[in-house]
């Protein structure tokens, strides 16, 4: 049976752990609010871009562009977004498990490449022999578009240069404080142009394109693909902080339960020790008579 000192030490160490997890929960809550704010500020930009593209595609013109070209999918590039650190529950394991299952179903080793965003995924893929084309770590919690432009430019460039025929995103989509959904989105080629023409976002004014629709698409289509990647990073950051907040709250609650259980055990052991001492005193007094 554990001594009173051992139980007391366990109680004190658990209390210290709960203080740490509580502090981490508060930090994650603050970061989550900022990440949500960043995502909300980015949404109007994407909506306006979709509105302009909807105006162009809605004219029914026979538009041809390299980023609309559907090629035989000989090689596929996956952009997998994870976190740089752990302590966020099943956030990383869920996205990696889903991606591994997808690769096993679709590909042989020579048919795909991975751009790993986040240290957790980059290390996993490296240690397990996956074909990692590029890896990016230490993405800020509040990344600006400029900070991730190197990533977005390079990924889109792989398709334009015909190194890869398809590009997919794998990330955790933020649904609510307690729910994140593993999501796969196709970035390139942009196949369903009807989604822009039939978008719920109605044009707020008439557009005149100079020098023409094709020239505008040369600029806006790469920006759209880059923005999809950037938006997914923002979405993933919100999901990460939400998952870490939930994990730290659960850890703090579990620590409280352990402390309560140990406190009861300590009180019982202390009461038993006191009872033993009283019994010994009474027995000794009786023996002297």
Instruction: Give the max Cα distance, the chain.
Output: 116
- pLDDT, mean of residues 253-280: 88
Q: Where is mean pLDDT largest: 35-44, 51-60, 268-277?
A: 35-44
pTM metric for this prediction? 0.84
User: Starting at the edge strand that comes first in sequence, how are the strands of the sheet with 112-117 ordered?
Assistant: 132-136, 112-117, 76-81, 166-176, 179-188
Residue 198's pLDDT is what?
Answer: 54
- Local confidence band at 46 (pLDDT 50, 70, 90 cut-offs): confident
Residue 191's pLDDT is what?
Answer: 72
Cα–Cα distance, 216 to 122 (Å, whole number): 36
Residue in 219, 230, 80, 218 with CA at minimum distance from that of residue 151: 230
Q: Would you say residue 192 has pLDDT above 80? A: no
Q: Would you say residue 173 has pLDDT above 70? A: yes
Say if CB 116 and CB 134 are below 8 A apart: yes
Residue 257's pLDDT is what?
Answer: 95
Say if CB 149 and CB 225 are below 8 A apart: no
pLDDT tens string 85-98: 888 988 999 999 99
Residue 51's pLDDT is what?
Answer: 79
Q: Would you say residue 201 has pLDDT above 80? A: no
Residue 68 tokens, joined: 């609309």
- pLDDT, mean of residues 68-83: 88
Cα–Cα distance, 155 to 188 (Å, whole number): 10
DSSP letters, 76-138, are: EEEEEE--SS--STTHHHHHHHHHHHHHHHH--GGGEEEEEESHHHHHHHHHTT--EEEEE--
Residue 256 tokens, joined: 């409280």
């Amino acid at each position: 049976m554990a001594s009173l000192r051992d139980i007391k030490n366990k109680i004190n160490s658990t209390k210290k752990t709960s203080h740490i997890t509580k502090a981490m929960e508060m930090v994650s809550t603050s970061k989550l609010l900022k990440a949500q704010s960043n995502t909300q500020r980015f949404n109007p930009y994407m909506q306006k871009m979709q509105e302009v593209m909807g105006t162009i595609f809605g004219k029914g013109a026979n538009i041809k562009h390299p980023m609309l070209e559907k090629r035989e999918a000989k090689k596929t590039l996956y952009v997998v977004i994870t976190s740089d650190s752990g302590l966020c529950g099943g956030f990383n394991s869920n996205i990696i498990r889903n991606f591994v299952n997808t690769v096993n179903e679709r590909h042989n080793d020579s048919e795909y490449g991975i751009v790993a965003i986040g240290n957790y995924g980059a290390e996993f893929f490296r240690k397990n022999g996956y074909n990692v084309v590029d890896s990016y770590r230490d993405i800020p919690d509040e990344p600006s578009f400029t900070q991730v432009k190197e990533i977005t430019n390079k990924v889109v460039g792989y398709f334009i240069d015909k190194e890869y025929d398809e590009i997919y995103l794998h990330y955790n989509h933020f649904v609510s404080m307690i729910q994140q959904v593993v999501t796969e989105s196709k970035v390139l080629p942009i196949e369903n142009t009807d989604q822009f023409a039939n978008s719920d976002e109605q044009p707020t004014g008439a557009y005149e394109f100079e020098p023409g629709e094709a020239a505008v698409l040369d600029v806006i289509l790469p920006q759209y693909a880059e923005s999809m990647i950037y938006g997914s990073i923002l979405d993933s950051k919100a999901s990460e902080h939400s998952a870490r907040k939930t994990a730290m709250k659960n850890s703090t609650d579990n620590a409280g339960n352990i402390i309560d259980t140990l406190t009861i055990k300590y009180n019982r052991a202390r009461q038993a020790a006191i009872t033993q001492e009283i019994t010994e005193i009474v027995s000794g007094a009786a023996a002297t008579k």
